[in-house]
Structure 1
Amino acid sequence: MRHEIQRATENVASTPTKFLNAAEVAIHLGVSRSTVYNLIASGRLTAHCNGGGKIRPRGIRVPESAVTEYLAGSIVSPSEVAA
C-alpha cells in the first residue's frame, strides 16, 4: 500500500502543470479577457501571479486544470435552461 501511494505521488509530481495566460483562458471559455480577470478577482478561477509579487495583468497565469474545473462546475441541467 505504501509503495502504491509513493508511485501515485511520483506520477503526479512528474506531470508538468500547463499554465495559460488570460487571452488563452478567454479563448477556452469563449469570453473576453476582462471577464477572465473578473473571474480571478471573484475567486471563481484560480490564478498565479508571476513578477515578484506585483499583481499585473501580463503576469497572471491560470493552471489549465483550473479552467477544466471551472467548466465542469458550470454545467447546467436541461430543467435549469428551461426555467
Structure 2
Amino acid sequence: MSHDAPAADNVATAPQFLNAAEVAQRLRVSRSTVYNLIASGRLAAHRNGGGKIRPRGVRVPASAVDAYLNDSLITATEVA
C-alpha cells in the first residue's frame, strides 16, 4: 500500500473552501451576515464536523461565493 502525496495537478483542481471569516472579508460584510446568508439558503455551505463540545463551523465553496456575487449584480435600470 503506497502513501504517496497527491499529484500536483489533482491539488490544483480540488475545490477551495473558505471559512465564515474569509467569506465575510471577501463580501465585505460581518460574519453574522454570512451565517444569515447560509441560514436563508442564499449561500451554499457545508457543516464541517458535528462535535457538540467543539464544532468546527461551516465551510463555503469559493465557487458558491462567486455565484452569490454574480447573482446579486443589478443593472442601472434596477437601481432607479
* TM-score when normalising by structure 1: 0.74
Query: Aligned residues, how many?
Result: 69
Aligned with 2:69: secondary structure? helix
Q: Runs of 5+ in structure 1 lacking a partner?
A: 1-10
1:79 matched to which residue of 2? 77
Query: C-alpha distance in 2, partners of 1:67/1:58?
Result: 20
57 and 41 in structure 1: CA distance in 2 versus 1, 3 angstrom threshold: farther
Q: Following the alignment from structure 2 to structure 1, what is the Cα–Cα distance between the partners of residues 77 and 44?
A: 29
Q: Distance in 1 between the 2:51 and 2:63 partners?
A: 22
- 1:26 lines up with 2:24 in the alignment: yes
Whose helix fraction is larger, Structure 1's or Structure 2's? 1
**Which amino acid in 2 is paired with 1:76?**
I
Deviation track 1:7-56 (CA, whole Å, cap 9, x = no partner) reads xxxx9xx71010000000001111100000000000000000111376x8
Could you list the runs of 5+ residues in structure 2 that have no partner in the other structure? 1-8
Residue type of the alignment partner of 1:68: D
Q: 2:35 is matched with which residue?
A: 37
- The whole-number CA distance in structure 2 between the counterparts of 1:47 and 1:59 is 10
1:66 counterpart letter in structure 2:
A
Query: Which runs of at least 4 in structure 1 moved beyond 2 Å after TM superposition?
Result: none
Sequence identity percentage: 70
Letter in 1 for 2:57: G
SS in 2 for 1:46: coil
Give the corresponding residue for 1:3: none
